[in-house]
Structure formats: structure tokens, C-alpha cells
Structure 1
Amino acid sequence: MDVWVFSFITGSVSSLVWPVLPPVWCLPLLLLFALVLAYRFRLILLSGLLTGAVWMASVGHWQIAWQLPADKIRQEVTLSGRIESLTQTGPRQRFNLQLDSLDGQPVGWHSPQIRLSWQSPPWPLKQGQRVILRARLKPPHGTVNQGGFNYQRWLLSSGIRATGYVIGKQDNQLLDDSVSLRQRWLDRLAALELEQGAWLAALTLGYRGWLQPADWLLVQRTGIAHLIAISGLHLGIVSGLGYSLLAWVLARGLGRGRQSLNLHKLALSAALLLALAYAALAGFSLPTARAWLMLSLVIILLWTHRHWRPRRLFLYAMAAFILLFPLSLLSLSFWLSFAAILIIWLVFWRWPVVRTDFSFATAGLSMLRIQLALSLLMLPLVAWQFNLVSFAAPLVNLLAVPVVTLLLVPLCLLALLTLVLVPPLGGWLFGLADSLVALGLSALRWADGLAWAAVNIAAIPLAVWICFALALVVLFLPRLPFSRLHGLWLCLPFLTWTLPGRDPAWHVEVLDVGQGLSVLVHRHGQALVYDTGPAYPSGYNAVEGQLLPLLGSLGIRRLDWLFISHQDNDHAGGQSQLLQALPVQQLMAGERCQAPWTGLWQGLTLTLLWPPAGFAGNENDRSCILHVSDGRHSLLLPGDIGASVEHLLPAGSLKADILLAPHHGSNTSSSGPFIQAVSAAHVVFSQGYLNRWGFPGPEVVARYRRAGARLYQTAEEGQISFRIADGRIEVRTFRGDVAPYWYMRLGK
């Protein structure tokens, strides 16, 4: 049976790399074939693989069974449903709505979730409220770039079927003001106005919406993300304390009658229910659900006096979670959680605890081994995902885990309980926890400030990290038929990849920044950036969300040139954030960005073609036009110029192989003579998905196609990368080449 469960997991995981979903009609046939293989031919491995594949294919088709109707996209619609997210006060609210009806039509058993934003709602939004809202919706979609957060994959893993924004009209209604218990406790915690309230909300209620980007950076660099997510640590504390307390109370309260009852089983059952209540209070997030599921399996085994090997427990827990939450396979937290469990099991298998009595020395040594093993064996997964290696994490966790486990979390839980029963005492306890968190944060910032605390590294392929991880596992194994030193051969891909190279090519990266523009040109580890993309009132900006992660994944720590075409937000919104984050040697913006000008950089000729000094056109027509050439191939970046400027440009200087379409493909640009003068083989439209202006215009697209150009749209392809070398131009797109998977096409 273990073999079948393992193969079921493998078949399910294979869905992560499928280019398309199998058709619906073949799924029953495949399932029948899997059953025949198992019971007739005893081909257990193949049967499990097919069953896992059929299960994930069914889930995928279920996910797309309810799609936003085409005639509802970007149109005003009426929604009714229940607010599912915890919310906070602020000018702009983001929340998930469990949809009941769309334009008066019930959505039925699908009950989809949609993610909405609302600028200045007329009443405080709370989890549990039932509302009627007017909104504009679009299918789930997100910008995708190398190194950046994959928002679209996150939407799918969260079960969100559409996104949009509420229109501020009078017919938005609050139908039911009922508020969830979790929301009420969050409001009480907010009313205390604690200095470290954001951290306490994460530790106590699993709500991390108050944490700022700087907080998340500190968490990543010091390796304590697992301590601020309510998961196995918290549920273990709750169930352990609950079991101990209930066993003591039952033993004292039942007196002589305890012989007729199994107090151990009663206490275990009550502890499991208590952990379930706390998991529900914390929102029953995926990490919490995983922890509760594992705890349930352990308690069931204790109840039934069964003994399972850790391997079987791990396999069954993983399979059960895939059955209950299949889309969580797309989330990084799933792999981090189960990888951590597997590593902890490996430590106790490799170095079993033989003492039966408690010893501080034994406990300390076990914790040290676990932290070192987690830091080493989790390094490939964390480094592959975040391009970061934290050397401070083992030391920080060695001190932070016992403090958080034995002191801070119990104190927060006690404070939460007393905040309801005895509010003054609860407030005082939370104040004490606030002081402890402030002290801990000071220590974390000191550790993060150490020169060796964390190192950003360039992106390394997953296959290389897998070889490196296998090498580390070989070093941990006790006995092998060959020398452990042979495991060093698995390190060769990692060593060769990290050796300095001298790629003769120059690269152009057109980032997917939504409705805006940002282009990176790099060669020999040096880089220039043309425009920074937009920034929004919510605090999000394309520099921190997309450009800086891309630069980090390429190992670029400074910029030689920063060109700003003009000061519209979609082109220059992140300029200040970029200047604060990285050293920039030369800034070309405003009056400094004027033609004629020529410079040499990394063997490339940089030429400014526009605007001339004293030009008094509008902001778009004053765009700084940059031409980049290696003498054989060239790139033209024209900003947002219109047709009136295109006619003024010197036709002989416009020839380029790669063109960023002016003004995102607006009908007011890309005139016929301009297209002929450039004669580009590759034309890129940088625009937002289903943007309100309809960019690129159909007439513009038709003109470029008649000219024979190959066209790309960032909204459809994601990041578009060009490699120019040896007289050739190679093109890669994120959705077509880096992540050509079925779940990346759901929004198209």
C-alpha cells in the first residue's frame, strides 16, 4: 500500500509540469485502467501514478469549470456574497469574497472566491459580513518575471477565480453585519495599539496583513518565517498544553471513577478538538491545516494502538493533504513544510535519542542537530526560490525557537484568552508580549546587520540545486556501499555554475510590469535600465515587486545607467525606490536626457535620438528615445511618443531589430512610415492585462504584422528575454519557455 501511496503522490506532483490538462472525456477511462492495473495485473506503481494524474486533472477541470463569462469581463456587474478575509482599516481595502450570485444569477455549487479591492469603502469591512457590491472583474492574472513573486500561481493555489475592484456607487449594500470571532479578536488586538501589534497578530491569530515589506525582508534574511506562521509549532503547543491540563483536571475531578475510563484517550481527543478550534480561529490556513492533519493522524494511531513508521506517516499525511487541498501543490509553503518534516525525521533516524529520561543536554543537542540539518538541507530549496542564503539562520533559530515555543506563544495565547474574560489583564499580558517581541526584533536586526548574515546569489537552475541537495543527503546517511566522498561529484554542477563566465552575448529583458514599461539591458554582469514601471497608492511598485528581484537573480548589484523616458507614473513611478535600493552611476532623465548624445558602454553604442533641446511638446512626446547597437543588431526604445514625433525623427537612425512599440501600442503612434523606417524583426508591446485603453490597438497590430514583424505582448507572454550574440537573436518568453504550464494559461 505504501508503494501505491507514493506513486499516487508522484502522479499528482507531475501535474506541476503538464503543458495542458488531459481532456475530460478520457479521465474516467484512465481511472478504470488504473483500477484494472492494480487488481488484475498487480501493477501497483503504475496504478498509483495514473490515479494521481487523474485526480489532479479532475481538480484542474473543476477549477476552470466556473470561469468569468466573457460578456462580464471589465463590465459593471452586481455581486453578492460573504467577506472571507480578515480586514484592517485603511483607505484601500483588499479582501476575498465568497460569491453567491453574479448579476442576480446564483453561481451554484461552484461557490467561487474572487479577490477585490475597494477605495475608501463607506463602512468598515469585516470578515463575515454579507454584502451586495458593484464591481468590475477580470480573470485571475498576474505579472510574471524571473525572480519575482508569481501572483497568478498564488491566486490559483488559493482557489481565487477572478479579481477586480469595487465601484464606489450608492447601490453597494451591507446586508448582514455579522462579524466572525476571528475578526472580533483582531479588532480587540488592534484597539490595544501595541507597537509590535503586527507581529503579535501574526503569532496569535495567523494574520500577517499588518507586516510591512521590510518585516518580510527581515524574516527571510534571518530564516524565521516558520515562527510567524501558525503551523505545527503553535498547534503542538496548544495540543500539548491542552493534553497536560485536561489529563490533570480529569484525573483530579473524576477521582475513583477514572479506572473505568481511559483518561489518556479522553485527553487526547479533547486536545485534538482544542487544536482544531485554534486552527479555525487562525483562519485554517494551509500551514495550519497541514499541521492539524498530521496531529490527527498521530492521535488516531495513539487511539488505536497502532505503530506506523515515520515513512508511512509522512506518505499518508502528504497524500491526504493532496486529496483535501490539491491546489496547495502550487504553493511554496507546501514544499517547505513537508521538506522540514522529512529533514526532522532524517535527523532522528540518523541520530536516535536513546535516553528515556529528560536531559537538558540531550534536548539541546537534538535541537542543535535539527537546526543545522534544516539550515543545510533546506538551503537548496530556499536559495532556488529566493536567491538568498542565510548564514545567520541556524544561530537565530537556535535561540528563537525555544523562546517563541516556550515563552512567547504561550504568553500570547494566554493573553488572547484573558483579553475576552478579563480585558485589563489581557491588555497587560499583551503589553508584556509586546515588550518581548520588541526585544527579539532588536536582536534580529542586530543579527541581520552582520556582514555575513545573509548573501544574495544569482539564480541557479533547479536541476543544479537538486544535485547539490542529494550531495548533502549523502553526507548525512550513516552507511553506504561507497565512500561519502563520492557524493562530492554531485556538487560539480553547482561549482561549475558558480564559476565566473564571460558570455559574449548582450541581453535585453522586457519586464512584465502591467500597464507600464521597464527594460533591462545587461552584459558581462553590468546593466542599464530604461524606465522603472509604475507605483501605486497601495504601496506596491514594479521596482520592488519585479525589477529588483530580477536584478538579484542575475547577480546585478548596481546600475551603470538609468534612463527615464518621461515622468508619467507608468514609466517613472519606481524611480525613487530604485535609486534608494541600488547605486546608480549615471542618471539620464528630464533635461539631461536630450539629443544628440552618444556613449559607449560594454562594447555597445548608446544613442539618444530625441528630444532636442528646447522641445516644448507634451509629456509623452518629450520621451527620451534610446537606441542601443552592437554594430550588427540594435534595440530601439521610443517611450510614449506619438505619430507627430515619429515623423520628425531621422529615418536613417531608426533601424533596429528589436522595437518596444511606442506608447504601448496606442492608435496614436506606430505610424506606417515609422514602422517602415525601423523595420524591426521583433516588436514588443508592454501593456497591462485587459487594460482599460485597449492597448495594443488592433490597427497597430495589423500594421506591424503587414511589415512582417514577430509580435509579443507582456500581458500574454510575461517577461520577454532577448539574447544577442554571433549575429543571432534568441527569444524566450516566461509563459512560453520558462513556465509553459497549464495553470499559467488559465487567465488567457
Structure 2
Amino acid sequence: MLDAARTPPFGKLAAIALLAGAAAALASPWLCPWGLSAAMLIAAAIAWWRSPRWRVVAIAAFGFALASAHIAYALDLQLPAQWEKREVAISGRIVDLPVHETRRTRFEFRVDDDAQQPAPLRGGLLRLAWYDDDPRPRSVLKAGQRWRFHARVRAPRGLRNPGGADAEKYALMQRLTATGYLRNPEISQRLSAAQGLTAWRESICDRIAATVRSDGSRFVRALALGDTRGLKDRDWEVLRADGLTHLIAISGFHVGLVAGFFALLARALWWSLPMLGRRVPAVIAASVAAMLGGLLYAAAVGFALPTMRTWLMIAVIAALRIARRPVHGFDALALAAIAVLLADPLALLGAGFWLSFLGVAWLLWCLPGPDAGGWRERLRGFVSAQGVASLGLLPVCVALFGQASLAGPLANLLAVPWWSLLVVPLALLGTGLESVHAGAGEFAWRWAAACFEPGWPAFSALAESGLALWWLPEARWFALPLALLGAFWLLLPRGVPGKALAVLLWMPLLWPDRRLPGPGEAELVVIDVGQGLSVLVRTARHSLLFDAGPAVRDGFDAGERAVVPALHALGVRRLDQVVVSHGDNDHAGGIKAVLRAFPAPAPFAPPDIDGEAVQSLLTRACSAGTAWQWDGVRLRFLHPPAHFPYLKNESSCVLRIETEHGAALLTGDIGEVVERDLVRRAAQSPAQTLHAEVVLVAHHGSGGSSDPEFVQAPGARHALVSSGHGNRFGHPRADVLERWRRAGAAPRNTADDGALRVGLRAQGIGVETRRQAHPRVWDATRRADPGLSYRPD
């Protein structure tokens, strides 16, 4: 049994307790009130230091209260609901490298903290976009400049889907105040030229681009200063498939390398000038140099969270060496974790925290020490490290990203020593020399690119092999702890019995229950794609996708960013049918991205369909009367009839899904004229019946659809709306929703609820919303409630 009286205040158990308390606050859907958090924080801090018997409980309570206070503060920074969509005049500084895209430039902007700025935005961090068809933003927007803009702003908000990125969580981590775009950018005024470390960083990146003209230039910029703006979509696909993304962006390794170089430099100086050792011991000088060097580099790359996390770890170890305290692996790791959590408990929301600390913990536990024999033993240890990291971190990677790279161990075995010992040091050397004298670093950058380029084709080929990404469905909450326990069991020393049984603990994570419908049942998932539509229809052994969301010229493709991740997370392995209801971009824009990820038969579409999104696609007519049956479920098109001309919205495919337990009606963007025609045809032919318990409200709930006669015809219990939050069309109209309510249907809107999951099952018809099923304390819909305030009384 643990002796509570001997539990050190900053030991391994303290780190675990602090981690557990902070994680509990972040996992809770409810926010602890300010007053209670402050009182708990003070009481727990006193008990942490003065009450050894209750120390573990006190530390956990302290972690909970500290994380709750950080959450409350971060949410308090965000734009109040009453300021949504206001146009404001703001001045401030560009604080990161602007990202130039086809029709827009995105950048982070720190508003000045003075009385001339709008009160909710003073000192806040904004993510803004400059939309423009001309190349002017590329030449005028630079990191470190001060500008005056007119912008339309809104609180951070994102799509909520299975497998999708949580933009609201990211905004909380970054303490983001608002997002928005420039209004009348031509009247924007630059107040001062680029200054500071961010300006220096961009200038060095520009010099690398001008110096290294080969394909490796973009990777040298990424490895030297974290500038990933030049990487193409194909580059990221290869990196993800090979499990190498952690090596490209600025990571803890870069900070450690710079800190180690400064420590060696200090050691060399103290060795060459022995008189210095009489005043300051060499170990102290090296430790201070490592801290200062790491801090300088972290500042140069914009104090990114991974760099600051690593610098805190270096600072802890350096402080222990300065204090002449023995440094043991797990104790140093525990102190580093405590330092990171005390500085920013919201770091737990980032994947980097878990990958960093768990990776080091696995290696410390499993691998032999530095005195383990000669070069063969060291080589065996390096290979073992890759195996331990791959096995130990696999559960975390699957839980965080929904994927596992089978090529990852092999790719890392080659890339880690190659890039870490050659490419990264040369890239950093060039950066350092260039900082001292213009032109001095050019040779190092060219050598870095020359060392990188020969291996990239091999990694590209590996990414296209059968060892690439393995997508896994979204698992239940208990799957990760069980898999980590299984990994721990498997990595126990030889001779431990029952290791084969440990594999069973991985089953809930690697083969989770996909909640597939049974025979005669169906499931609909209305994916949250913003102002557009995409619906997945599943039976026991088949899948159909109805529309794929929008793709706009500024770079957002709902097919790639929302639909494809959702299909992967839901465990869809293939699409047996695809329907493009009509050619409008908000329905068909993402179809090409979906078909790249999920090959499928030629999509159904209205005859003579047109539109940029469906050009070059071979389609089949979704003519009324076309029907088929899957697993006891009947699917039938009700519109358009034969010889119906293509009239865009009015030609939308209308699909009815009939199960043994109820029916659903997918309507596309039809208007009142077609709705009344469907009612007339249903009265003439039983095969054209509109009866359905679940109806997708036509045209996102616009005023030109949902004819009163059509609303009454299905006898629906659930009316589903797919629309974007705060869209400029005002969809769905309040009177339309009220019309459906009076007809007995309960409306659900993706803008408010996220993805909608509807089951037509033997146990009944139910609707599960993403925001309700996976509640988060940072949920934007809860913040929009005027009765909920995060400000202290």
C-alpha cells in the first residue's frame, strides 16, 4: 500500500493526480463556476503542500480547478453572441505567417489593447481571411506588420461530425477570440512595416525559397522554421500514410537539438577557457545555455505549443542539474509534465502532449540504459525503440486520429536517423548562419535539400503500397484504456504469462461495434457540411451517399474535410451507390473528393445535369420509378419523372427509403411546385406514396419549399434540416419550422445539433445528435445561450 505521508509533492504520483484532475475538468460537459474554482484552487494548493495524507486528492482537485479556470478564461475571451456578424474597425499586428491560398489569404491578428478598439476584441487573437482574386495580399501582407482593417467577425464555430476536426476545441486551446473576414480590403491601411521575430522568421523562409529552387525547398522551410505553407496536399497525404507528420512540423526534437548545440557550445567554451570554471561550474553553464538556446528557438518559431512544452521539459532537467539533484528518467518526466500542466492545462487537448509524454514514458520503461553494451546492442536498442513506440502509441494514435499507419514503423526506422542526423541539423545550421550574416547559410540549406530529396520518392511509393493508412471506426470511450492496458501487458518482460490474451483488450479499439442496422432496418446520418447537404444511408450490408456537400474556391471542400472523415469514422468501407441530387455546388461540390477516397459505381443524378462539380462524371438517371432492394430495405426514386427537363433545384432526385419499421424521404432542393406535384402523383398511385416518419426538409428550410399540403402528406415525426450556422440565406425560415411542428414533426437542424443520426430500427425510430451524444464544455451552441455566462459575478 502507498504511504501517503511519504508521497513527494512533485513526484510521479503527483504528476498522475494533476493529470487526472485536469483531464476530468476537460472531459466534463459542465463548467465549474468561477467562485467555486477559485476557492477549490486555494484550498487544494494549501493541502498539496501542508497535508501529506491528503496530497494525492488535493493535487487532483487542484488540477481540476486550474483547468476549469483556464477553460472559463478562454471562453470569456470569445466574442459574445450579441456581437455576431458585426462589422468592426480594428488595428493590430499580424502575429503568424500568412497562408496564401487560391482566392484568400488567412492570417492571425492580435488586436491592440487600447480604448479605440471594440471592447470585446481588445487584445484578442483573431483569425481573419482576405478574400481577393488579385495577388495583392501575397505581396502586402507580412508577418509582424501592423494594420488597420474593417472586418466582419463571429465567435469561433465549427462543424461537428464523427471523425471530424473540432474547430471549437482548437479555438479554446489557442485562446481565439473570433474569426472573420475583411470588408472592403482595398481601404485597409498598413500602419507599420514588419518587425519582430515573426518578421525575421518570414524573411528567412523567403531566403530559403529564393536560394533552394529544387523540390526540397518546401521541406527545408518546414524543417528549419515550421513553415508548412509550401507543402502540397499530396505531401501531407504521403506524410500521414507513412506516419511521418511528427518529423516535418516544428517539434520537440528541433528544440532539443538547438538546446543541445548551445550546451555543447558552452562546454567547449569552458574547456578552452578553464578560468571560467572557477567562477561558474561547466555543468551550470551548459544547463543555462541549453535553456536560453531552446527559449530563443521557441521564440523564433512563434512559441508554438510543442516547442514550449519541450522547452519546459528542458528547463526542468536543467534546473535539476543546476541544483545538483540526481536526474532519473521518470522523475524528470513527471516534473516536466507538472510544469507543462501548471503553465497550460489546456495542452491536454492537443495530440502532441499525449504523444510526447507517453512516447517517452514507454521508452523509459522498456529500453535498456545508456551503458547497454557495444554498437550491436545500441542498434538493437534503436530498432526496439521503434517497435516500442509503434506498439505503445498505436492505441493513442487510433483514438486521436482514427487511423493507424502500418508503414509507420518502417518509414520512421529510415526517416528518423536520416532526417534527424542530416537534414534537420543542416537546415538549422543554415538558419543560424544566415542570422549572423546574409548569404552564409545558403550552402547548408542546399545540402539539406540534397540530403532530403533522394528519399522522398521511396516514401511516396511506400505511401501508395498496401502498408499505408488503416482507417478505423470511432470507438467507445473505454476502448483506449483497455488498449493501453493491453500494450502494457504485451511489453512486460519475457515469461509473463497470458500475453496472447492481452490482444483481446485491443478488440474494442481495433474492431469497434459499428452499430450497423439489422436486416429490414436502416440508418441515416445527415453529415454537418455547413450550408449544403450530405446524407449517408446504411442497411445491414450496404451504403449509399446522397450528395457530398459544398466545395468553394477558397479551399474548403466539405467532401474532403467533413464527408470522407465521417465515412471513415462510421466504418464505411465502400459506397454501393452514390446520388447527386442536382448540380448545385452546395450539394455536388464535394463529390470528386468523396469518389477519390471511396470508389463507387456511376452516381445517380438527374438527366442532363450540369454544373462545374459534376463535369466529366458519368452518371445514371435517377428517374421516378427506379427502385431496388437491399437487406430487406426498399429504395425508390419518386422524382424527376421521365422526360422532365433539367431545371436545377426543381429536378432534384427525391429518394424514399422504406424499412419494416418506418420510412424516410430525402428531398434535395425541390420547391413548392414539385412538392405539390408529388402530392398529386401520390394520390394517383400507391407506389408513389409519400408516407414517411422521417423527412429531410427541402432546400434547407427555405421559404420557397415546404408547401403546407406537402408538409401534411408524409405524416412525419422528425423533420431534418441541413444548413450552415448564420448562413446569409436565413435558412431555415422560422415559419417553415413552425409549419412542420404543427404537422407533428420535431425539427432538427445540423447548424445547431451537428451531425444527425437517425435509426429506423425494430426498437423504434430515434434521432441522435452529435452535440448531445458527445457534449463538450466548449460547445458553441451552449455559449450562444444568453442565459449562460462564463464571466465572474
Match of 2:375 among 326, 345, 360: 360
Q: Which amino acid letter does the alignment assign opposite residue 429 of structure 2?
A: L
Matched, 1:223 2:243: yes
Match of 2:759 among 720, 723, 730: 723
Aligned to 2:109: 97
Match of 2:405 among 390, 407, 413: 390
1:492 Cα deviation from its structure 2 partner: 5.8
The within-5 A match list for 1:405-420 is 405-420=420-435
How big is each residue's C-alpha offset from its partner over 1:406-439, in whole Å with a ceiling of 9 and x where there is no partner? Answer: 1111111122233455555533432232232221
Alpha-carbon distance in 2 for matches of 1:6, 1:159: 26
How big is each residue's C-alpha offset from its partner over 1:223-247, in whole Å with a ceiling of 9 and x where there is no partner? Answer: 1122113222112222222222332
- C-alpha change, 1:95 and 1:433, in structure 2 (3 Å) is same
1:33 Cα deviation from its structure 2 partner: 4.5
The within-5 A match list for 1:455-466 is 455-466=470-481
Q: Which amino acid letter does the alignment assign opposite residue 74 of structure 2?
A: Q
1:140 Cα deviation from its structure 2 partner: 0.6
Aligned to 1:13: 23
Q: Which amino acid letter does the alignment assign opposite residue 740 of structure 2?
A: Y
- C-alpha change, 1:571 and 1:238, in structure 2 (3 Å) is same
Q: Which amino acid letter does the alignment assign opposite residue 30 of structure 1?
A: M
Aligned to 1:262: 281
Alpha-carbon distance in 1 for matches of 2:420, 2:200: 25
Aligned to 1:581: 597
Alpha-carbon distance in 1 for matches of 2:709, 2:515: 45
Aligned to 1:635: 664
**In structure 1, the residue corresponding to 2:129 is in which secondary structure?**
strand
Aligned to 1:59: 70
Aligned to 1:566: 582
Aligned to 2:355: 336
Alpha-carbon distance in 2 for matches of 1:385, 1:503: 29
Alpha-carbon distance in 2 for matches of 1:696, 1:498: 34
Q: Which amino acid letter does the alignment assign opposite residue 663 of structure 2?
A: S
Matched, 1:541 2:557: yes
The within-5 A match list for 1:287-302 is 287-302=306-321
**In structure 1, the residue corresponding to 2:303 is in which secondary structure?**
coil
How big is each residue's C-alpha offset from its partner over 1:688-731, in whole Å with a ceiling of 9 and x where there is no partner? Answer: 11111121111111112222211211111111111221151122
Q: Which amino acid letter does the alignment assign opposite residue 511 of structure 1?
A: I
- C-alpha change, 1:435 and 1:101, in structure 2 (3 Å) is same
- C-alpha change, 1:647 and 1:276, in structure 2 (3 Å) is same
The within-5 A match list for 1:401-550 is 401-421=416-436, 423-424=438-439, 426-478=441-493, 484=499, 487=502, 490-491=505-506, 493=508, 497=512, 503-504=518-519, 505-550=521-566
Alpha-carbon distance in 1 for matches of 2:121, 2:578: 52
Alpha-carbon distance in 2 for matches of 1:641, 1:499: 33
1:508 Cα deviation from its structure 2 partner: 0.6
Q: Which amino acid letter does the alignment assign opposite residue 596 of structure 1?
A: G
Residue correspondences, number:
743
Q: Which amino acid letter does the alignment assign opposite residue 118 of structure 1?
A: W
Q: Which amino acid letter does the alignment assign opposite residue 142 of structure 1?
A: G
Aligned to 2:90: 79
1:538 Cα deviation from its structure 2 partner: 2.6
Q: Which amino acid letter does the alignment assign opposite residue 677 of structure 1?
A: A
Aligned to 1:607: 636
- C-alpha change, 1:182 and 1:570, in structure 2 (3 Å) is same
Q: Which amino acid letter does the alignment assign opposite residue 703 of structure 1?
A: R
Matched, 1:709 2:725: no
Contact 2:26 2:68 in 1 (8 A): no
Gaps of 5+ in 2: 1-8, 608-620, 683-688, 785-793
How big is each residue's C-alpha offset from its partner over 1:59-104, in whole Å with a ceiling of 9 and x where there is no partner? Answer: 1221222342444311221122111121255541111111226993
1:488 Cα deviation from its structure 2 partner: 5.0
Alpha-carbon distance in 1 for matches of 2:605, 2:514: 36
1:465 Cα deviation from its structure 2 partner: 3.3
Match of 2:735 among 699, 706, 718: 699
Contact 1:4 1:47 in 2 (8 A): no
Match of 1:371 among 374, 386, 393: 386
**In structure 2, the residue corresponding to 1:585 is in which secondary structure?**
coil
TM-score (norm: length of structure 1): 0.93
Out of 78-87 and 492-501, give the one that drifted further.
492-501
Aligned to 2:127: 115
Q: Which amino acid letter does the alignment assign opposite residue 130 of structure 2?
A: W
How big is each residue's C-alpha offset from its partner over 1:115-152, in whole Å with a ceiling of 9 and x where there is no partner? Answer: 11111355521111111111111111111211122222
Q: Which amino acid letter does the alignment assign opposite residue 648 of structure 1?
A: D
1:260 Cα deviation from its structure 2 partner: 4.3
RMSD between superposed Cα atoms in Å = 2.6
Aligned to 2:691: 655
Match of 1:147 among 158, 163, 177: 163
Out of 284-293 and 705-714, give the one that drifted further.
705-714
Alpha-carbon distance in 2 for matches of 1:124, 1:88: 13
Aligned to 2:180: 164
Contact 2:524 2:536 in 1 (8 A): yes
Alpha-carbon distance in 1 for matches of 2:57, 2:219: 47
- C-alpha change, 1:292 and 1:34, in structure 2 (3 Å) is closer
Contact 1:384 1:461 in 2 (8 A): no
Gaps of 5+ in 1: none
Matched, 1:347 2:360: no
**In structure 2, the residue corresponding to 1:361 is in which secondary structure?**
helix
Aligned to 2:79: 68
- C-alpha change, 1:371 and 1:510, in structure 2 (3 Å) is same
Contact 1:12 1:49 in 2 (8 A): yes
- C-alpha change, 1:276 and 1:257, in structure 2 (3 Å) is closer
**In structure 1, the residue corresponding to 2:725 is in which secondary structure?**
coil
1:523 Cα deviation from its structure 2 partner: 1.9
Contact 2:517 2:539 in 1 (8 A): no
Aligned to 1:45: 56
**In structure 1, the residue corresponding to 2:445 is in which secondary structure?**
helix
Contact 2:516 2:538 in 1 (8 A): no
Alpha-carbon distance in 1 for matches of 2:724, 2:304: 31
Contact 2:205 2:225 in 1 (8 A): yes
Aligned to 2:686: none
Matched, 1:283 2:302: yes
**In structure 1, the residue corresponding to 2:18 is in which secondary structure?**
helix
How big is each residue's C-alpha offset from its partner over 1:247-270, in whole Å with a ceiling of 9 and x where there is no partner? Answer: 223422x25554444233223322
The within-5 A match list for 1:167-246 is 167-179=183-195, 180-192=199-211, 193-246=213-266
How big is each residue's C-alpha offset from its partner over 1:570-610, in whole Å with a ceiling of 9 and x where there is no partner? Answer: 00001222233322124111301232322223322222222
Alpha-carbon distance in 1 for matches of 2:465, 2:647: 49
